[in-house]
């Protein structure tokens, strides 16, 4: 397997302008295994200009049916290379191989979905009265910058690039410094499948070095970002200068609400993976669990028993459910949260330590008695840590749920239909699941309320978000 190591601009591999490189560490072994080019501001300019040329040179005017055919070819190519993509993802971020395979498939599925969608997507004719008629057009924007994080590098790159390209835009994709390999592979494979040169650029590099240049480039018409709330806020500020369009998918502190009338045994057995999957590095992690008091103790007992059974270890092993954290820094951040929880007297029902001497591993950790003001209860941890609390009153519990500045996802467990509907309406978040923890469906909009973000990924909502809406009035 050859590892990509350069920038991907205008359909070819390029050395960066100033020859800077990022070294990649395998989080499962702590060994450095590759070096990848890091883009500079000059490379950002070259990539954006290449994208603009490709846009004006034909991609924006290509018939939707032709874009559909190319994107289907990209999807087929990604499926052919599913195992290779999965292995690259595993190496760079320590993702368990079985998850990495599923996510490679999800990336391909995004291209299939938007390939099919774009030929069924258009404007409307509107009844404006006698004397004329009115129609709308959905027009591509131009160059779109897609900035993606390290926790789901490949699927998020695909769920941004596929709808942006389907809608007729050209893309500059910036992966996180920790995870450039699968994004670069996407650029290469898409071109091999027939995407014209310049339609998709991939620029690895540190956000601090090239983020501002990319976000403020006058030819970039939209920035689609997934990552921290802090950087999301900065991108929105920078974009405000020339009123660039932004979509932001940011942090979360999602609730998992379990009522006594639910199949709470199943809830308890499935809930650990709703927070510990991807070693907790998931913006949708159900990290605050609210359990109705009458079932609190047996629920916690089952939850902890299920947590102890999780397989933590080598991501290359098919049976592994939790790999290491992505970096030493990420583990240090999570351990600061745990130190704070200890200081404040939280009870550790399990976990809290390092299970392996090598690799950035951390045991899945269950906290009880966290105070509502504690950092572990209020802040996004982005690690394998959950806090569980008991509640007595539905209305009071919902006030507490909604007091979070976040509102990304959440789960509700109940067999009472009225309650399921009432609570689904009341929880302030963009995505909810009832009697399930499933949050991401290619066909359905994904994104947050409040400080969890702005705009939506996935579904037809994402396709709309990569177009400008034009209204034309024609006199009779
Ligand atoms: P981040 O927000 O710093 O990075 C996300 C992406 O933005 C990366 O590609 C990064 O290179 C880029 N970036 C960084 N600075 C930038 C800038 N000034 N301008 C433009 N782009 C910039 O996230 P992180 O540091 O990798 O992770 C920190 C925290 O972010 C995590 O602990 C977690 O709380 C949160 N996070 C959330 C998600 C999510 O899915 N919502 C994903 C990853 C991280
Ligand atoms: Mn950062």
Kindly name the residue from 283, 292, 376, 380 that is annotated as catalytic. Answer: 283
Does 234 contact ligand 1 (Cβ within 6 A)?
A: yes
Give the mean pLDDT of 265-289. Answer: 98
Which among 38, 149, 384 is the best mutation to test ligand 1's pocket, defined by most ligand atoms within 8 Å of the CB?
149
pLDDT of 212 > 90? The answer is yes
- Ligand number, closest to the Cα atom of 177: 1
Does 155 contact ligand 1 (Cβ within 6 A)?
A: no
Count of C-beta atoms within a 10 Å radius of residue 130: 7
Does 439 contact ligand 1 (Cβ within 6 A)?
A: no
Q: For ligand 1, atom 11, which residue shows the shortest CA distance?
A: 207
**pLDDT for the residue 62:** 97
Q: In angstroms, what is the span from residue 210 Cα to ligand 2's centroid? A: 13
Residue 363: pLDDT band with limits 50, 70, 90: very high
Residue 232, both tokens: 């999301």
The answer to whether the CB of 324 falls within 8 A of the CB of 25 is no
pLDDT of 40 > 90? The answer is yes
Residues 6 or more apart from 152 whose CB is under 8 A from it?
A: 103, 278, 282
Q: In angstroms, what is the span from residue 121 Cα to ligand 1's centroid? A: 32
Question: Residue 249: beta bridge partners?
Answer: 226, 453
Closest listed residue to residue 442, CA positions, set 415, 463, 421, 412: 463
Whether 83 is a known active-site residue: answer: no
Residue 19: pLDDT band with limits 50, 70, 90: confident
Residue indicated by tokens 């920078």:
238
Count of C-beta atoms within a 10 Å radius of residue 208: 9
Report residue 147 CA to chain centroid gap: 10
Give the mean pLDDT of 398-405. Answer: 98
- Ligand number, closest to the Cα atom of 206: 1
Q: For ligand 1, atom 15, which residue shows the shortest CA distance?
A: 207
Q: Which tens digits make up the pLDDT trace of 121-158?
A: 999 999 898 899 999 999 999 999 999 999 999 999 99
Residue indicated by tokens 């709703």:
274
Task: Say what percent of the chain tops pLDDT 90.
Answer: 98
**pLDDT for the residue 418:** 98
Q: Which tens digits make up the pLDDT trace of 404-463?
A: 999 999 999 999 999 999 999 999 999 999 999 999 999 999 999 999 999 999 999 999
- Ligand number, closest to the Cα atom of 228: 1
- Ligand number, closest to the Cα atom of 207: 1
Q: In angstroms, what is the span from residue 149 Cα to ligand 1's centroid? A: 5
Does 149 contact ligand 1 (Cβ within 6 A)?
A: yes
Looking at ligand 1, which atom is closest to the CA of residue 206?
11
Does 250 contact ligand 1 (Cβ within 6 A)?
A: yes
Task: Say what percent of the chain tops pLDDT 70.
Answer: 100
**pLDDT for the residue 408:** 98
pLDDT of 159 > 90? The answer is yes
Q: In angstroms, what is the span from residue 174 Cα to ligand 2's centroid? A: 13
The answer to whether the CB of 253 falls within 8 A of the CB of 378 is yes
**pLDDT for the residue 129:** 85
pLDDT of 108 > 90? The answer is yes
Q: For ligand 1, atom 43, which residue shows the shortest CA distance?
A: 227
Q: For ligand 1, atom 6, which residue shows the shortest CA distance?
A: 149
Question: Residue 350: beta bridge partners?
Answer: 366
Round to whole Å and give the CA distance between 338 and 251: 19
Does 227 contact ligand 1 (Cβ within 6 A)?
A: yes
Does 174 contact ligand 1 (Cβ within 6 A)?
A: yes
Count of C-beta atoms within a 10 Å radius of residue 372: 11
- Ligand number, closest to the Cα atom of 229: 1
Give the mean pLDDT of 75-103. Answer: 98
Round to whole Å and give the CA distance between 419 and 425: 10
pLDDT of 2 > 90? The answer is no
Does 176 contact ligand 1 (Cβ within 6 A)?
A: yes
Does 457 contact ligand 1 (Cβ within 6 A)?
A: no
Residue 274, both tokens: 């709703």
Residue 171, both tokens: 């893309």
Does 25 contact ligand 1 (Cβ within 6 A)?
A: no
Does 211 contact ligand 1 (Cβ within 6 A)?
A: yes
Residue 462, both tokens: 């994402």
Give the mean pLDDT of 173-198. Answer: 98
Q: In angstroms, what is the span from residue 138 Cα to ligand 2's centroid? A: 34
What does the angle CA 34 – CA 319 – CA 110 come to, to the nearest 5 degrees?
65
What does the angle CA 5 – CA 7 – CA 13 come to, to the nearest 5 degrees?
85
Q: In angstroms, what is the span from residue 423 Cα to ligand 2's centroid? A: 34
**pLDDT for the residue 232:** 97
Q: In angstroms, what is the span from residue 415 Cα to ligand 2's centroid? A: 41
Residues 6 or more apart from 336 whose CB is under 8 A from it?
A: none
Q: In angstroms, what is the span from residue 27 Cα to ligand 1's centroid? A: 18
Share the mean pLDDT of the chain.
97
Burial of residue 459, with CB atoms counted within 10 A of its CB: 0-12 exposed, 13-18 middle, 19 or more buried: buried
Report residue 274 CA to chain centroid gap: 15
Whether 146 is a known active-site residue: answer: no
Report the 3 state secondary structure along the chain: CCCCCCEEECCEEECCCCCCEEEEEECCCCEEEEEEECCCHHHHHHHHHHHHHHHHCCHHHCCHHHHHHHHHHHHHHHHHCHHHHHHHHHHHHCCCHHHHHHHHHHHHHHHHHHHHHHCCCCCCEECCCCCEEEEEEEEECCEEEEECCCCCHHHHHHHHHHHHHHCCCEEEEECCCCCCHHHHHHHHHHHHCCCCCCCEEECCCCHHHHHHHHHHCCCEEEEEEECCHHHHHHHHHHHHCCCCEEEEECCCCEEEEECCCCCHHHHHHHHHHHHHHHHHCCCCCEEEEEEEHHHHHHHHHHHHHHHHCCCECCCCCCCCCECCCCCHHHHHHHHHHHHHHHHCCCEEEECCCCCCCCCCCCCCEEEECCCCCCHHHHCCCCCCEEEEEEECCHHHHHHHHHCCCCCCCCEEECCCHHHHHHHHHHCCCCCCEECCCCCCCCCCCECCCHHHEECCECHHHHHHHCEEEEEEEEEC
Q: Is the pTM of this model over 0.95?
A: yes
Give the mean pLDDT of 53-58. Answer: 97
Residue 210: pLDDT band with limits 50, 70, 90: very high
Round to whole Å and give the CA distance between 424 and 393: 16
**pLDDT for the residue 1:** 78
């Amino acid at each position: 397997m050859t590892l990509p190591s350069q920038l991907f601009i205008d359909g070819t591999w390029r050395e960066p302008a100033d020859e800077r490189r990022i070294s990649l560490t395998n989080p499962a072994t702590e060994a450095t295994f590759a070096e990848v080019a890091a883009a500079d501001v000059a490379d950002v300019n070259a990539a954006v200009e290449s994208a603009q040329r490709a846009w004006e040179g034909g991609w924006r005017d290509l018939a939707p049916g032709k874009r559909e055919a190319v994107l289907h070819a990209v999807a087929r190519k990604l499926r052919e290379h599913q195992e290779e993509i999965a292995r690259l993802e595993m190496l760079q971020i320590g993702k368990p191989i079985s998850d990495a395979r599923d996510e490679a498939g999800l990336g391909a599925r995004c291209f299939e979905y938007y390939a099919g969608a774009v030929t069924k997507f258009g404007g409307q004719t509107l009844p404006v009265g006698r004397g004329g008629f009115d129609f709308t057009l959905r027009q591509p924007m131009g160059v779109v910058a897609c900035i993606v994080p390290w926790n789901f590098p490949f699927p998020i790159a695909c769920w941004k690039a596929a709808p942006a390209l389907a809608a007729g835009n050209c893309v500059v994709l910036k992966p996180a410094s920790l995870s450039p390999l699968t994004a670069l592979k996407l650029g290469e494979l898409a071109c091999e499948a027939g995407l014209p040169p310049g339609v998709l650029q991939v620029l690895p590099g540190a956000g601090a070095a090239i983020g501002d240049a990319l976000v403020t480039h006058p030819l970039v018409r939209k920035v689609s970002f997934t990552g921290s709330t802090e950087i999301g806020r900065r991108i929105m500020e920078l974009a405000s200068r020339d009123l660039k369009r932004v979509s932001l998918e940011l942090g979360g502190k999602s609730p998992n609400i379990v009522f006594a009338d639910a199949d709470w045994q199943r809830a308890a057995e499935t809930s650990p993976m709703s927070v510990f999957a991807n070693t907790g590095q998931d913006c949708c992690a159900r990290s605050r669990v609210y359990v109705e008091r009458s079932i609190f103790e047996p629920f916690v007992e089952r939850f902890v028993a299920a947590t102890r059974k999780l397989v933590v270890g080598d991501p290359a092993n098919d049976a592994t459910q939790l790999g290491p954290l992505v970096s030493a820094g990420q583990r240090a951040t999570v351990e600061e949260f745990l130190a704070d929880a200890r200081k404040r007297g939280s009870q550790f029902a399990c976990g809290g330590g390092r299970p392996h001497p090598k690799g950035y591993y951390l045991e899945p950790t269950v906290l009880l008695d966290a105070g509502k003001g504690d950092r572990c209860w209020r802040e996004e941890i982005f690690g394998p840590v959950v806090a569980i609390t008991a509640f007595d009153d539905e209305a009071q519990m919902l006030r507490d749920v909604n007091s979070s500045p976040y509102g990304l996802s959440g789960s509700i467990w109940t067999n009472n239909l009225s309650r399921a509907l009432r609570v689904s309406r009341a929880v302030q978040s963009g995505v909810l699941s009832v009697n399930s923890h499933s949050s991401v469906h290619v066909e359905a909009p994904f994104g947050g309320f409040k400080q969890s973000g702005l705009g939506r990924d996935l579904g037809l909502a994402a396709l709309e978000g990569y177009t400008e809406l034009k209204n034309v009035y024609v006199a009779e």
